[in-house]
């Protein structure tokens, strides 16, 4: 994740740190890595590129009815979906009540409502008891600079597949420099029968993984580019850059993306 080189202000609450620089407020959990960021003049936008990339699932599932997120952080993805896509119901599982408190007090996370439920629970345990319950499962769970062990086991990825509806997609944020990254990818491939695509947001940075409960077969790049242009105009996110990332880092043909 990107780092802030100079901190102007800092607040400590247990292992939770807040910083602000150039109009951007950032959340740090146990390290100086930025877990979440919010531009004060645009609090509902996605400030970090990796969070923008996680919305790339819309290229393949443009009309989800519900999204389940594991790992709240400052609530950037929650707020974006909540304010920009009012047709979607959102559930968020966060293990730390302190993180939920900080997200509400410092990052403008909305209160629970009919459309939004933020629950304090352990993500792996939750999904193990909620099969076939969501269209999209987004996982962004880190403890300091490392991924939480319970959110990258084979059992977790198996449960993740089971908790998705028949056309569901698992979206995961990994770190390309994680020494266990290859093992994580192997487990994801096993759980999703190889229906997995991935790309780097930057060299030795975040790696975004999309795992599909059912294979989609071949999709023409021209069709994906058309979808990207439509989504970019609707949500003001750089979807064409997501396509470039998929073509650059994936082993795909010149004409098709095969999932």
Which of 32, 125, 135, 140 is catalytic? The answer is: 140
Q: Which long-range contacts (CB under 8 A, 24 or more apart) does 255-258 make?
A: 255/220, 255/221, 256/218, 256/219, 256/220, 256/221, 257/197, 257/218, 257/219, 257/221, 257/224, 258/217, 258/218, 258/219
The C-alpha R_g of the chain, in whole angstroms, comes to 17
Q: DSSP labels for 213-249?
A: SS---EEEHHHHHHHHHHHHHHH---HHHHHHHHHHH
Q: Which bin fits 79, alpha (ψ -120 to 50), beta or left (φ > 0)?
A: alpha
Please say if 140 is a catalytic residue: yes
3-class SS at 141? coil
By residue count, the chain amounts to: 259
Q: Is the dihedral of CA 6, 105, 15, 76 positive or negative?
A: negative
Catalytic residues: 140
């Amino acid at each position: 994740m990107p780092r802030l080189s100079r901190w102007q202000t800092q607040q400590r609450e247990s292992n939770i740190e807040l910083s602000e620089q150039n109009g951007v407020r950032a959340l740090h959990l146990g390290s100086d890595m930025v877990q979440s960021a919010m531009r004060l003049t645009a609090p509902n936008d996605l400030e970090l590129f990796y969070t923008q990339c996680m919305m790339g699932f819309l290229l393949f599932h443009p009309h989800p009815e519900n999204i389940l997120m594991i790992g709240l952080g400052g609530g950037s993805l929650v707020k974006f979906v909540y304010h920009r896509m009012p047709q979607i119901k959102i559930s968020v599982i966060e293990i730390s009540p302190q993180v939920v408190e900080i997200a509400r007090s410092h990052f403008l996370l909305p209160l629970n409502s009919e459309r939004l439920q933020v629950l304090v629970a352990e993500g792996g345990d939750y999904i193990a008891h909620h099969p076939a319950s969501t269209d999209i499962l987004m996982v962004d769970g880190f403890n300091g600079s490392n991924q939480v062990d319970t959110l990258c086991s084979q059992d977790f990825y198996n449960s993740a597949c089971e908790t998705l509806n028949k056309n569901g997609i698992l979206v995961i944020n990994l770190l390309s420099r994680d020494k266990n990254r290859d093992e994580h990818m192997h487990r994801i491939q096993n759980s999703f029968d190889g229906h997995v695509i991935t790309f780097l947001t930057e060299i030795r940075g975040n790696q975004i993984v999309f795992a599909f409960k059912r294979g989609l077969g071949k999709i023409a790049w021209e069709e994906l580019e058309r979808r990207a242009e439509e989504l970019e105009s609707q949500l003001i996110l750089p979807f064409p850059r997501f396509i470039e990332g998929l073509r650059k880092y994936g082993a795909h043909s010149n004409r098709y993306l095969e999932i």
